C-alpha cells in the first residue's frame, strides 16, 4: 500500500498538474469504485481545482465550492498522468479523471478491487476520512508519547495504526524500527522517554529521506514505480539478505495478513522472534538464536 512518502510525492506531482485546472468529468470503468452517493459525482464536474492534499494514506482533490474527491489506493491502486481524454486501461483500469490540463488514470492490479473513491462536501465531510493519527513528521516527543501510551500495543502495530500515526504502513514501519534498533514486538506503551525520543528521530529521518528520494526519482515526471519493496531498504522485503548495518541475515515473521521484517542482531539482541505458524509446528525445536537457526538449516 502506498504510504506517506509515496502519497506525498503523488500529491505534489498531481498538484503541479491540476492546480487551477478544471475538472471536466470523471469516467468510471468500475461502478464499485465510488463508495458515496451524496453529493453526486456529477456535482463535481466543471469545478476548478483549488488544492490537493494528503489525509493519512488518502489523496484529497479539493474543488471549488468545498467539494472533495477522496482517493484511497489501498494495496494495489496506482495513478498515472496522461493526455487529455486518455483511454482507461482495459483490464486494470478503474477510472479516468479528466482535467482541462490532462487526465489522471486510476488503475488497480489483481482481482480484489479495494481502491475507493468518495465524494464529500465541506471540511467536515473531509475530516470523516481522517482516522485521527498524529503527523509523524511534525509531532513533538510529548505528542508521540501520549499517542503511543494510550493503548497496550506492540510498536509495530502502533506505528501502522492510523488512529495513532498518520500515513505509516508495513514497509516503512519495518524501516523505522530497524533505524531505531527496536524489536517490532516491544510494547509501545512501556517505552520510556529516551526510547520515544529515539523512535521519533528514526521515524522522522526515515520518512524524510525516502520522501526526498522518491521526489528525485519522479523529477519533473509522475511517479511510475510505486511499490512497498524498494532497492535501498534496510530490512523490508529483504528476508535472508544481509542487514546493511551488521551483515546478519534479515528475519521475517508472518502473522494474520501482515508481516514484520527485522534484524535480530540490531533489534532483538540476537534473539529470534517466534513465527506463530512455524513455532507451533516446531514447538521445542524452535530456534532461539541466529546460531541455532543456522544449525537447523544445516
Contact 157, 151 (CB under 8 A): no
pLDDT tens digits, one per residue of 120-171 = 999 999 999 999 999 999 999 999 999 999 999 999 999 999 999 999 999 9
Peptide bond into 39 cis (omega under 30): yes
Q: Is the pLDDT confidence value at 282 over 50? A: no
Sheet with 77-82, side-by-side order of all strands: 77-82, 102-108, 93-99, 22-28, 47-55, 58-63, 67-72, 116-121
Q: Is the pLDDT confidence value at 278 over 50? A: no
The H or E element containing residue 249 is: none
Structural domains counted in the chain: 2
Residues 259 and 151 in one domain: yes
Polymer length in residues for the chain: 298
Residues 120 and 186 in one domain: no
Contact 159, 171 (CB under 8 A): no
Residues 140 and 76 in one domain: no
Residues 36 and 146 in one domain: no
| CATH number of the domain within which 89 lies | 3.20.190.10
| CATH number of the domain within which 246 lies | 1.10.8.50
**For cell 462536501, what's the residue?**
121
Picking from 90-104, 238-252, 279-293, which range would have the lowest pLDDT averaged per residue? 279-293
Closest C-alpha to 80, from 90, 71, 88: 88
CA distances from 97 to 28, 167, 297 (A): 9, 24, 52
CA atoms of 241 and 223, how far apart (whole Å): 27
Task: Give the residue numbers spanning the domain of 117.
Answer: 4-127
Residues 90 and 177 in one domain: no
Residues 154 and 183 in one domain: yes
Percentage of the chain with pLDDT > 90? 85
Residues 287 and 171 in one domain: yes
Amino acid at each position: 500500500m502506498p504510504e506517506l512518502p509515496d502519497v506525498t510525492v503523488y500529491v505534489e506531482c498531481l498538484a503541479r498538474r491540476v492546480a487551477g485546472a478544471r475538472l471536466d468529468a470523471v469516467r468510471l470503468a468500475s461502478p464499485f469504485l465510488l463508495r458515496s452517493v451524496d453529493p453526486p459525482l456529477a456535482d463535481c464536474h466543471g469545478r476548478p481545482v483549488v488544492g490537493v492534499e494528503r489525509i493519512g494514506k488518502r489523496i484529497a482533490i479539493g474543488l471549488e465550492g468545498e467539494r472533495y474527491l477522496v482517493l484511497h489506493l489501498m494495496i494495489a491502486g496506482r495513478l498515472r498522468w496522461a493526455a487529455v481524454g486518455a483511454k482507461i486501461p482495459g483490464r486494470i483500469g478503474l477510472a479516468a479523471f479528466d482535467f482541462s490540463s490532462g487526465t489522471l488514470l486510476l488503475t488497480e492490479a489483481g482481482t480484489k478491487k479495494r481502491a475507493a473513491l468518495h465524494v464529500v462536501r465541506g471540511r467536515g465531510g473531509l475530516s470523516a476520512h481522517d482516522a485521527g493519527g498524529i503527523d509523524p513528521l511534525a509531532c513533538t516527543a510529548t505528542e508521540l508519547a501520549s499517542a503511543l501510551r494510550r493503548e497496550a500495543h506492540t510498536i509495530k502495530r502502533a506505528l501502522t495504526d492510523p488512529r495513532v500515526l498518520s500515513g505509516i504502513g508495513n514497509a516503512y514501519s519495518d524501516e523505522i524500527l530497524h533505524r531505531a534498533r527496536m524489536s517490532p514486538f516491544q510494547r509501545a506503551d512501556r517505552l520510556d522517554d529516551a526510547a520515544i525520543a529515539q523512535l521519533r528521530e528514526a521515524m522522522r529521518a526515515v520518512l524524510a529521506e525516502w520522501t526526498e528520494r522518491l521526489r528525485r526519482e519522479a523529477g519533473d515526471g509522475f511517479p511510475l514505480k510505486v511499490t512497498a519493496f524498494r532497492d535501498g531498504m534496510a530490512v523490508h522485503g529483504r528476508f535472508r539478505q544481509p542487514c546493511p548495518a551488521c551483515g546478519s541475515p534479515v528475519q521475517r515473521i508472518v502473522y494474520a495478513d501482515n508481516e514484520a521484517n527485522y534484524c535480530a542482531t540490531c533489534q532483538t539482541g540476537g534473539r529470534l522472534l517466534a513465527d506463530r505458524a512455524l513455532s507451533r509446528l516446531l514447538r521445542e525445536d524452535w530456534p532461539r538464536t541466529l546460531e541455532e537457526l543456522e544449525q537447523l538449516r544445516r
